[in-house]
Amino acid sequence: MTTATRDAGTPIGASPPSFPADAALVTSGLTKRFRGGQVAVDALDLSVPRGSVYGFLGPNGSGKTTTIRMLLGLITPTGGTCSLLGLPLAQALPRVGALVEGPAFYPYLTGEANLRRFDAADPTASGASAGRRIGEALERVGLTAAAGKRYRVYSLGMRQRLAIAAALLRPRELLILDEPTNGLDPQGTREVRALVKEIAAGGTTVFVSSHLLAEVEQMCTHAAIMRAGRLVADGTIASLSGGRAARISVETPDAAGAARVLAALGLADVRRQGATAGDVTAELGGHAPEQVNAALVGEGVPVRGLAVVRPSLEDVFVGLTGEGFDVDG
């Protein structure tokens, strides 16, 4: 990235001293401070496993795009180190595809013609194989039938897929996508989600930033959660959700009786919604739901419904930050 140095003398942007063989992207203490003292990214430590779909989560303004710009050498960090594929940035970039802040194409050109312009701008791309590579990229994103249509008639989902095709004109080991489903309708979102999963299944590591927690939960294998420039949690999707206790929810006309039985069983954090009838919830802990149900019925508590509610990524985020996911917008 750059040759500026931290106080300790480590070159900013230099590769970390040791790069894990199973990692595609690593940052250590990565920091960006703008003029005036605003810290957009504060000592970020990430390790993205190879072959993963890694969700980079956070509200608008949490530092996601600034981080991606530093990773790609578009802006200069003021501290810390980062490395892609264990290589210096200049060597890594030909192996990295990226979509940052939405696609930009000529509206009057066809999808195929736009990709030809992208390909021609790459000094390392062979002109002799351009037709084949463009055709393969269009097929990979499901746009072969629309290759001859002008970009201006493409739907938002098709435009995002064309942008991903541009990033895949050459074989990529790492694909970095900044808010790829932003502004898409449900159909377009499903298209991009399926495409990301397909790309990852082919062995490419995908690093995708988003503020849509439910979308990341369906698409990603790992995630990191940012809040005001700081990393507040990271890990596999299962470990992030599993870090918070599952709850059991009982719908009953006898809320007081249900609360009493749950407490007697030793379930923690028993909560009632309604003085008489309503839902009663508690942390399930190591209890089996069927045992809880049997105890309720055995004590004469009518059970209209019983469900185990497992925490979502949004639950994890709110638990870590104490705020909803619309902050810092």
User: Would the pLDDT of 276 be above 70?
Assistant: no
- Specify the higher pLDDT residue, 314 or 69: 69
Q: Of the given ranges (80-89, 191-200, 303-312), which has the lowest mean pLDDT?
A: 303-312
Banded model confidence at residue 329, pLDDT cuts 50, 70, 90 = very low
Instruction: Locate all alpha helices (DSSP H) within the chain, ordered by sequence.
Output: 64-71, 89-92, 111-120, 130-140, 156-167, 186-201, 213-219, 237-242, 255-265, 289-298, 313-321
What is the CATH code for 247-310? 3.30.70
Every domain of the chain with CATH number 3.30.70 lies at 247-310
Q: Rounded to two decimals, what is the model's pTM? A: 0.73
Give the containing element (helix H, strand E) for 49: strand 39-49
Task: Walk across the sheet containing 205-210 and list its strands.
Answer: 96-99, 174-178, 205-210, 53-57, 222-227, 230-236
Banded model confidence at residue 227, pLDDT cuts 50, 70, 90 = confident
Mean pLDDT of the chain: 83
The model's pLDDT over 84-128, given as tens digits with 9 standing for 90+, comes to: 998 888 889 889 999 887 678 999 999 999 999 988 888 877 888
**Contact yes or no for 271/248 (Cβ under 8 A):** no
Every domain of the chain with CATH number 3.40.50.300 lies at 23-242
Q: Percentage of residues in the chain with pLDDT exceeding 90?
A: 41
pLDDT at 78: 94
* C-alpha span between 217 and 70 (Å, rounded): 25
228: left (phi > 0), else alpha (psi -120 to 50), else beta?
Answer: left
**CATH classification (class only), 23-242:** alpha beta
